[in-house]
Amino acid sequence: MRMMELSGKSGNSKIFIGESISHLASLCTSEKTVIVTDRNVRKFHGEKFPDFPVLEVGLGEESKTLPAVQALYGKFMEMELERGSMVIGIGGGIVCDISGFAASTYLRGMRLGLVPTTLIAQADAAIGGKNGVNLGGYKNLVGTIRHPEFVLCDFSFLSTLPEKERRCGFAEVIKHAAIADATLFSYLEGNLQEAMELKRSVIEKVIHDSILVKTEIVAKDEYEKGERRKLNFGHTVGHAIEKCCCLPHGEAVAIGMVAEAQLSVSRKLLSEKDAGRLMRLLADAGLPAKAKATPSGLLDAMRKDKKRESEIVKMALLEGIGKCSIQDVKMGEIEAVLSGICIAGKGGGSP
Ligand SMILES: NC(=O)c1ccc[n+]([C@@H]2O[C@H](COP(=O)([O-])OP(=O)(O)OC[C@H]3O[C@@H](n4cnc5c(N)ncnc54)[C@H](O)[C@@H]3O)[C@@H](O)[C@H]2O)c1
């Protein structure tokens, strides 16, 4: 087990990497604690939960909305939770985002702990304090930044993940390596198969190093004024793909990274060779490189994302493997690379 700490204006997190959920009860020091989860996680792992009341949220992006948060507020009221009460989110990125937002806003903030159960959530979503919900079909339009008191990553959860969800998790891990850790990137190139098979020593290193990339960036720029934007590599295009093609987050981000790497090449920041390495690693992880969408449809979704009005987008572009910078990019420049990731058809992705 390894432990990391992340401190910021919005709180301090202890991150336990490779810890057993059997230690969860000892971290829940409030008189009133409630678990928030979803039905899949409860079905596979509910018997391991400590003996606290359990609330369920729905599945998928359609559930990551204000009505889901409002339903939780109602339950919190019925249970007479107080500011010192504790909410524990046990689930994937959706549960972490909804429970984190509800806990951060009810009574202006209750105590929060997260037990991420997907690779995306362990390597990324549970770390860094960002939580939020979708509004009007647009991603994460409403949210807060507030660090959970602790994040407990128990790798045994990952063994019940459907193959597709496991692959999706590698998109965010590869993103972290691509933007800030060339050594992790090379390690993934050499050990991807064992990582995907969840070999203990390999998955522990991969999740640890991935979390380290995120915590180091968040520690420098908690409120996303600059450096933290690097974590959005692949997400400007990826969020548009997620919306237009109804692909899972990880697959959409993988295709987004292909497009944004091509943009980096067209600006002569990234060599063709390094872009090729990224595309190969994504393909080896079984992630798609193309989306069934049109460039104009994606551009339209990008314009509406976060109610963007400007024709200039701040994007993270690669300057090599393990290095990236934030650049102002015109919408027209993005459009030029979108044809490379679009194929005919409606919804879905493809290698
Ligand atoms: N807040 C952040 O910083 C941040 C970062 C990255 C992603 N995200 C968000 O995370 C979400 C994606 O996260 P996700 O991929 O974990 O999605 P998810 O929460 O929908 O989980 C994927 C699926 O796996 C199931 N599942 C979860 N754990 C399981 C387990 N151990 N065994 C079997 N099934 C399990 C879930 O029920 C769900 O059906 C997106 O909404 C994305 O925007 C947030």
Query: What angle (nearest 5°) sits at the alpha carbon of residue 70, between those of residues 66 and 74?
Result: 170
Amino acid letter, residue 92: G
- The answer to whether residue 350 scores a pLDDT higher than 70 is no
Quote the distance between the C-alpha of residue 123 and its chain's center.
8
How is residue 84 written in tokens?
């010192």
Note the helical H segments in the chain.
24-27, 39-45, 66-78, 93-105, 119-120, 163-180, 182-196, 200-220, 235-245, 249-266, 272-284, 295-304, 331-338
The answer, yes or no, to whether any atom of ligand 1 lies below 6 A from the CB of 214, is no
Ligand 1: centre distance to CA 92 (Å):
3
* 333 three-class SS: helix
Sequence length of the chain is 351
Out of 47, 120, 133, 241, mutate this one to test ligand 1's pocket (max ligand atoms within 8 Å of CB): namely 120
One fold for 2-160 and 163-192+225-350: no
167-189 pLDDT, tens digit per residue, is: 999 999 999 999 999 999 999 99
Ligand 1: centre distance to CA 98 (Å):
11
The reported pLDDT for the residue numbered 345 is 74
Amino acid letter, residue 279: M
Q: Looking at the domain that runs over 163-192+225-350, which CATH code has it been given?
A: 1.20.1090.10
Out of 13, 44, 95, 118, mutate this one to test ligand 1's pocket (max ligand atoms within 8 Å of CB): namely 118
Out of 139, 165, 229, mutate this one to test ligand 1's pocket (max ligand atoms within 8 Å of CB): namely 165
For domain 2-160, the question of CATH label 3.40.190.10 is answered with: no
Residues 109/28/213/103 CA torsion (nearest 10 deg): -20
Task: Give the position, in ligand 1's atom list, of the atom nearest the Cα of 248.
Answer: 15
184-230 pLDDT, tens digit per residue, is: 999 999 999 999 999 999 999 999 999 999 999 999 999 999 999 99
What phi and psi values does residue 138 have, to the nearest 5 degrees?
-105, 140
241-262 pLDDT, tens digit per residue, is: 998 998 999 999 999 999 999 9
Given a contact cutoff of 8 angstroms between Cβ atoms, the answer to whether 318 and 326 are in contact is no
Domain boundaries, given as residue ranges, for the chain: 2-160, 163-192+225-350
* Residue 338 to residue 327: CA distance in whole angstroms: 18
- The answer to whether residue 307 scores a pLDDT higher than 60 is no
3-31 pLDDT, tens digit per residue, is: 999 999 988 999 999 999 999 999 999 99
Q: Quick one: pLDDT band at residue 138, thresholds 50, 70, 90?
A: confident
The reported pLDDT for the residue numbered 309 is 63
User: Which residue CA neighbors atom 9 of ligand 1 most closely?
Assistant: 93
The answer, yes or no, to whether any atom of ligand 1 lies below 6 A from the CB of 120, is yes
The reported pLDDT for the residue numbered 137 is 81
- The answer to whether residue 75 scores a pLDDT higher than 80 is yes
The answer, yes or no, to whether any atom of ligand 1 lies below 6 A from the CB of 160, is yes
**Eight-state DSSP code of residue 65:** B
User: Which residue CA neighbors atom 7 of ligand 1 most closely?
Assistant: 125
Of 346 and 139, more confident: 139
Q: How many Cβ atoms from other residues are within 10 Å of residue 8's Cβ?
A: 18
Rg, Å, the chain Cα set: 19
CB-based contacts of 51: which residues, under 8 Å, 6+ apart? 25
